[in-house]
Copies of this chain bind each other. A is one copy, B any other.
C-alpha cells in the first residue's frame, strides 16, 4: 500500500538492502519489526518492495521519533541479527520530506 502521510514536513527513513542467502527467521523478524514500528510514537506509515534489491521506506513525525525507534531494544537486537545473518549490504538514509504530490485515478 501507499502510505497515507500528513502534510509536509515529516520524515522518511529509506532502508535499501541486499540480502544474503540466509532465510532462517528473516520473514518472521521482518513482520515482527513492522508490527512493532507501527506501535511507536510518531510512526506515520510504511512502504516496502523487494526484487534484487529491497526498499523499505518508513515515515515518521520528526527526528525524535526516529531516534526512539532506533534505540527500541527489540529493534536494536533485530538490527544486530540483520547484520549477522540476513543482510549482505544495506544503506539507511534519514530524510526530511519537504514536498509531496499525489495522484489517484
Point out residues on A near B: beta carbons under 8 Å: 1-3, 5, 12, 14, 16-18, 20, 47-55, 57, 83, 87-105
Q: Do A2 and B95 have beta carbons less than 8 Å apart?
A: no
Given A2-B17, A83-B105, A92-B102, 5 other A-B contacts at CB below 8 A?
A14-B97, A16-B47, A87-B103, A94-B97, A95-B96
Q: Nearest chain-B residue to A66 (Cβ)? A: B99
Q: Do B51 and A50 have beta carbons less than 8 Å apart?
A: yes
Q: Do A94 and B100 have beta carbons less than 8 Å apart?
A: yes
Q: How far is the CA of A50 from the CA of B49 in the complex (A)?
A: 5
Q: How far is the CA of A14 from the CA of B48 in the complex (A)?
A: 12
What are 27 contact pairs spanning A and B, CB under 8 A?
Answer: A2-B16, A2-B90, A3-B91, A5-B93, A12-B14, A12-B93, A14-B14, A16-B57, A47-B53, A49-B51, A49-B53, A50-B51, A55-B55, A55-B57, A83-B103, A83-B105, A87-B103, A88-B104, A89-B104, A91-B101, A93-B99, A93-B100, A94-B99, A95-B95, A95-B96, A95-B97, A96-B98
